[in-house]
Amino acid sequence: MVLASPAPEGQLQTLVAGVPLVLRAALALEGAGASRIFLVVSAEDASSAANLAKDPRLGVQVSVITAASWEAGVAQVCEGAAGPLLITSAHMVADPAIYRRLMETSLNKRDAAAACRNGRALGPLFVTPALGSQLFHESTTVVSSDDATSSASFAAAVDALIASGKAISMDVGARWAVRVDTTEGRRLAEDALLEACRKPVDGLVARYINRPVSLAVSRRLAGVGITPNAVTLATLAIALGGAVVASRGGYGPMLLGAVCLQVSSVLDGVDGELARLRFQGSPLGQWLDTVSDDLSTLAFYGGITIGLLRGSASSGEALLSTESVIACGVVAMVTLALTSAQYYAELWRLGAGDFYALEWDFAETGGGLRTRVVRLARLLLKRDLFTLLYLVLALAGALPIALLLGAAGHSVTLAAATARTLRRRPAS
């Protein structure tokens, strides 16, 4: 059971990366495993809190508690609680792992666990109902309700709890936790939230080139109404448009086609970043993202195959014979389609649309020679890398090589996907 404390009056709706701060706190607590949330607010904030509590992104029940003071509201919740509570200020934007770790702490030996950095309390406190009610009942000085920096004085009170031995101090280590009651604090929180949108599976190009750009775009779009799904469809439209242009043939159109594929590959990060930043991820979005990646690549091969057959020598057509262009184009498209079909079937059975919901050998850390080879091959065959490579080849007027590499690369992934499907086929 968890409690999110109020922001000072009127600040419930302050946006942090596109989400009202109190809603962000509630969603983060839910993500960390909170099964119920009590939101303590003043009478003036009650109706806007009630609206935020109805947000469709929330999966847990949020009860709004109206109280004359923060302490009175917290004490009221503690008194009715059956198990430990996590008390935090809506002003705190933190890595959900901090809340998760606090909630996992056993309160058998002490009555509370506090999130700390360098020995100082940050604010979030996991506490037994008994200590919680005692703290907020008896010690009216814990947080003075007319104190503008109530979360700071709350942290000071938690420091005192640690000093008296009643609370365990849990060091948050490198995890981030930022107070957002200042413009600077909100900026730092947005930086941390955006950084947390990176995916551990990002390839080298994604990590060092694509993400810095897509994160800058997401920062600007976070407060705008555009949905992740709309961004996914826009990235697909850019790639398909590029493929149509490339099919006209010639150096310029085919280069533009490769530029469009690269732009869509960079913007491909924005949809997921917005989904994670604003808690707007969805099964439909996962599927759209996966299918749009594959359709974009497939259309590119189609576009350049037609373009090479139609074009002049300016795009390196002489590098491959007409028959080889057709053969490589067809092999690249068919192997990509057959690979995707197998992954889609597995994803469908799993009830997920996210390519990374599948279990992958290359996701294992360490491992023997085979795992290392698979991991290296996977890194080389990743979309972020080959998309950039195709752009370089288009610039060099050597796009037939892209078709050749596409045919070879997707044949390898088809072989791996087929072996995987056969391995996983249930024994009859």
Ligand X SMILES: O=P([O-])([O-])O[C@@H]1[C@@H](O)[C@H](O)[C@@H](O)[C@H](O)[C@@H]1O
Ligand Y SMILES: Nc1ccn([C@@H]2O[C@H](COP(=O)(O)OP(=O)(O)OP(=O)(O)O)[C@@H](O)[C@H]2O)c(=O)n1
Residues that bind ligand Y (CB under 6 A): 199, 228-229, 232, 268-269, 271-273, 275, 281-282, 285-286, 288-289, 293, 354-356
- What, of ligand Y, ligand X, none, does residue 88 touch, CB below 5 to 8 Å by kind? none
Nearer to ligand Y, 285 or 409 (CB): 285
Cα gap 340→109, rounded to integer Å = 53
CA-closest candidate to residue 206, choices 406, 363, 393, 385:
385
Nearer to ligand Y, 147 or 191 (CB): 191
| Selected binder of ligand X within 70, 154, 355, 390 (CB under 6 A) | 355
Told to check if 383 binds ligand X by CB under 6 A, we report yes
H or E, element range at 422: helix 399-424
Cα gap 187→286, rounded to integer Å = 29
Nearer to ligand X, 161 or 206 (CB): 206
Told to check if 382 binds ligand X by CB under 6 A, we report yes
Contact 302, 326 (CB under 8 A): no
- What, of ligand X, ligand Y, none, does residue 151 touch, CB below 5 to 8 Å by kind? none
The single-letter code of the amino acid at 278 is R
- What, of ligand X, ligand Y, none, does residue 273 touch, CB below 5 to 8 Å by kind? ligand Y
Site for ligand X in 279-308 (CB under 6 A): 289-290, 293-294
- Report the chain's terminal Cα–Cα distance, integer Å: 46
Give least dist CB 173 to ligand Y, A: 25
Give least dist CB 379 to ligand Y, A: 13
Give least dist CB 210 to ligand X, A: 10
Q: In terms of C-beta density within 10 A (0-12 exposed, 13-18 middle, 19 or more buried), how is residue 426 classed?
A: exposed
Give least dist CB 374 to ligand X, A: 14
Contact 190, 16 (CB under 8 A): yes
- What, of ligand X, ligand Y, none, does residue 286 touch, CB below 5 to 8 Å by kind? ligand Y
Nearer to ligand Y, 269 or 303 (CB): 269
- What, of ligand X, ligand Y, none, does residue 404 touch, CB below 5 to 8 Å by kind? none
Site for ligand X in 187-216 (CB under 6 A): 203
Cα gap 274→266, rounded to integer Å = 14
Contact 48, 62 (CB under 8 A): no
**Torsion-angle region of 396 (φ positive above 0: left; ψ -120 to 50: alpha; else: beta):** alpha
x/- map, 313-352, ligand X, by CB under 6 A: ---------------------------x------------
H or E, element range at 209: none
H or E, element range at 113: strand 112-117
3-state secondary structure of 8: coil
- What, of ligand Y, ligand X, none, does residue 208 touch, CB below 5 to 8 Å by kind? none
Nearer to ligand X, 70 or 300 (CB): 300
- What, of ligand X, ligand Y, none, does residue 294 touch, CB below 5 to 8 Å by kind? ligand X
- What, of ligand X, ligand Y, none, does residue 30 touch, CB below 5 to 8 Å by kind? none
- What, of ligand Y, ligand X, none, does residue 95 touch, CB below 5 to 8 Å by kind? none
Nearer to ligand Y, 360 or 396 (CB): 360
Give least dist CB 21 to ligand X, A: 32
Told to check if 271 binds ligand X by CB under 6 A, we report no
Contact 260, 314 (CB under 8 A): no
- What, of ligand Y, ligand X, none, does residue 181 touch, CB below 5 to 8 Å by kind? none
Nearer to ligand X, 271 or 384 (CB): 384
Give least dist CB 49 to ligand Y, A: 27
Q: In terms of C-beta density within 10 A (0-12 exposed, 13-18 middle, 19 or more buried), how is residue 220 classed?
A: exposed
Told to check if 390 binds ligand X by CB under 6 A, we report no
Write a three-state SS string for 219-275: HHHCCCCCCHHHHHHHHHHHHHHHHHHHCCCCHHHHHHHHHHHHHHHHHHHHHHHHH
Q: How far is CA 160 from CA 53, 129, 374, in A?
A: 33, 18, 53
- Cα 35 to chain centroid, rounded: 22
Judged by CB under 6 A, the number of residues near ligand X is 10
DSSP line for 66-100: E-SSHHHHHHHHHHT-SS-EEEEETTEEE-HHHHH
Q: Which residues bind ligand X (CB under 6 A)?
A: 203, 289-290, 293-294, 340, 355, 382-384
